[in-house]
Amino acid sequence: MSCLEIRAAKAGDSAAITAVVKESWLSANKELLPGDSLGQLAHSPHLATMIAREWGHIHVAVVENVIIGAVGINPAGVIWMLYVLPGYQGCGAGSALYEAAIGALKQAGRRKALLEVLAANENAVAFYRSRGWVPEGRRTEHIPGFRFTAVRMGLALA
Ligand X SMILES: CC(C)(COP(=O)(O)OP(=O)(O)OC[C@H]1O[C@@H](n2cnc3c(N)ncnc32)[C@H](O)[C@@H]1OP(=O)(O)O)[C@@H](O)C(=O)NCCC(=O)NCCS
- Residues interacting with ligand X, by CB under 6 A? 24, 28, 81-84, 89-95, 117, 121, 123-124, 127, 130
Q: What is the bridge-based pairing of β-strands 4-8 and 58-63? A: antiparallel
* Residue with the CB atom nearest ligand X in the bound state: 94
| Cβ-based nearer residue to ligand X, 82 or 155 | 82
Distances in Å between the Cα of 132 and the Cα atoms of 79, 112, 158 are 15, 12, 13
In angstroms, rounded to a whole number, what is the distance separating the alpha carbons of residues 94 and 96? 5
Name the minimum Å distance from CB 127 to ligand X.
Answer: 5
Taking CA 88 as the corner, what is the angle to CA 28 and CA 12, rounded to the nearest 5 degrees?
Answer: 90
Q: CB-wise, 44 or 95, nearer to ligand X?
A: 95
CB of 100 to ligand X, least distance (A): 12
If phi > 0 it is left, if psi is from -120 to 50 it is alpha, else beta; for residue 3 that is left
- Residue with Cβ nearer ligand X (46 or 109): 46
Closest C-alpha among 112, 77, 90 to residue 24: 90
User: Closest distance between ligand X and the C-beta of residue 94, in Å?
Assistant: 2
| Minimum distance from residue 54 beta carbon to ligand X (Å) | 15
Closer residue to ligand X in complex, CB, 14/151? 151
